Amino acid sequence: MSHCLEEIHEAQVVAAGKAQGRWLRRFGPFAGSAMAAALLTACASLPEPASRTPSQALADTAGTRLGRALAPGQAQHPGQSVFYPLSSGPDALVARLALARGAERSLDLQYYIFDGDLTGKTLLAAVVAAADRGVRVRLLLDDLHLSGQDRELAAIDAHPNIEVRLFNPFANRSARWLEFATDFRRLDRRMHNKSMTADNQLTVVGGRNIGDPYFSASTATDFSDFDVLAGGPVVPQVSAVFDDYWNGAASYPVASLMPAPADAQAEVQALRTYLDEHAAEARGSDYARELLDSGMAQALEGGKVPAYWGQGSVIADQAVKVTLPPEDNSSHAIPKLVHLLDSAQRELALVSPYFVPNATAVDWLAGMARRGVRVGILTNSFAATDVSAVHAGYAPTRKALLAAGIQLYELKPSAYAEMAHEGHRSLISKSRASLHAKSYMVDRHLLFVGSLNLDPRSARLNTEMGVVVDNAALCTQLGAALDERLLDVAYKVMLEPDPAGGEPKLVWVTRDNGLLRTYDSEPDMSVFQHFGQGLLRLLPLQEEL
């Protein structure tokens, strides 16, 4: 499974039979079943719900090390939560490692993708080490990207302090492609949430999956992403979302889906040995040195993590969303997010890698612009996106948005090269940039950070979550940083009048080496790719994007 795929985008790959395992390769690749065997097992069914035992986040954790560290600040800011932005990949990984190493009672992890690459194994090693210390670990993963990894999942689950559950899993573990073809309506609904919570005291929520592209450790694609580390009253809200999914009907214990290891103790020890070997090898890497030099690592070492205090809340889909018809929005997060965004009086800044507004959304944004709200949108350019079909769904809306007075920017694939002299880019990653952050800012004091894209798939099919931060200082800082370099890292899409009085045409304006440059055709798009985009726009994919 390519690191690049994210929304329906993956579903189409699986349906085409191209899905591959992405976890620990200790036991060799998935070999696949013969067609006859696949047909015989196509009718595999999921186990009865009685096989899952409910559990909840721990409530009495104020006396933990993390709880004691937060107590003085909470006493000074009663009822408020504390937030620390995680803009860089190394900072985001260091924060997660710090949670795993600081946990004393519990770790709850909920992820759409958890790769078995450099960063994935590094985090897994820290999680297993926490379990070895007696920390209760609950690991909830979407099953879409876990093809061929059952033995590894069973080994992790065999640890006495770790339980693994899979969300909306494939019943047929050996012929997933066939089940996808026969049960598409169910398997098309995925859990896109991303959170990691330690001791119900500190949490990381945002847009990052677990894998090298999300932490600036990849040499192929470097996802520009954003998370927040949070503490205070917002954390139990995140834990409540986790519990809803963990105990929901769509989450199945690994033990109910696959055979337990014949010798569980030996499998767990083999897992430890494998992760220890990885850790020893990784310590001497350039990326490990970059982690030690990261701003987050330095702040933690000096005990001076910058704190932004303010009201915090969670916006999340209910887990039951995947069992209800897509048109039933009673469990959806989107209406709550729209209500938040609609409160803008002066400025609305939207950052979404997959931005596919339907006609209603275009009219809504145009209405905001008409009432005087300055609306700015940053999404991926064609060359930066990892999903061509999404660009094909978005591109036809550009002229209507621009005609309504909305400012539209598209990230350049060379964005990190443009920022290198400012120290914003990983020294390790030599890859192209691709926007992956989902953050929405209202009047420079309200900020949503999470997994929710502004596209039909996030709205109707997948489950999503995020946190809302009310802090003007944080929003002003983030907004100013984006404004300062936006024209360097992105194309500003504009309408240019036709001198002959015809329809205005699109142009792309950017700044290269301090000089403005204008493109009168889509940058980095060949004639063949332009033709391909035209074909994609003819396909009935809108609701799947």
Task: Choose the catalytic residue: 199, 243, 317, 455.
Answer: 199
Q: Which residues contact 185 (CB under 8 A, 6 or more apart)?
A: none
Helix or strand or coil: residue 24? coil
What CA–CA distance (Å, rounded) separates 132 from 140?
A: 19
Task: Choose the catalytic residue: 3, 9, 194, 332.
Answer: 194
User: Residue written as tokens 């696959």?
Assistant: 258
One-letter amino acid identity for 132? Answer: D
The tokens for 268 are 């767990």
Is 436 annotated as catalytic? yes
Under 8 Å between Cβ of 490 and 378: yes
One-letter amino acid identity for 324? Answer: L
410 φ, ψ to 5°? -125, 125
Q: Which residues contact 229 (CB under 8 A, 6 or more apart)?
A: 83, 84, 86, 95, 202, 203, 204
Task: Choose the catalytic residue: 243, 436, 455, 470.
Answer: 436
What CA–CA distance (Å, rounded) separates 241 from 196?
A: 12
426 φ, ψ to 5°? -60, 140
Is 199 annotated as catalytic? yes
Taking alpha carbons only, the member of 4, 55, 33 closest to residue 170 is 33
User: Residue written as tokens 């691709």?
Assistant: 434
Task: Choose the catalytic residue: 443, 445, 488, 524.
Answer: 443
Is 194 annotated as catalytic? yes
Is 443 annotated as catalytic? yes
Alpha helices in 16-106 (DSSP H): 35-40, 65-76, 89-102
Task: Choose the catalytic residue: 3, 121, 192, 412.
Answer: 192
The tokens for 252 are 């199945």
Task: Choose the catalytic residue: 227, 438, 470, 492.
Answer: 438
What is the bridge-based pairing of β-strands 439-442 and 347-351?
Answer: antiparallel
Catalytic residues: 192, 194, 199, 436, 438, 443
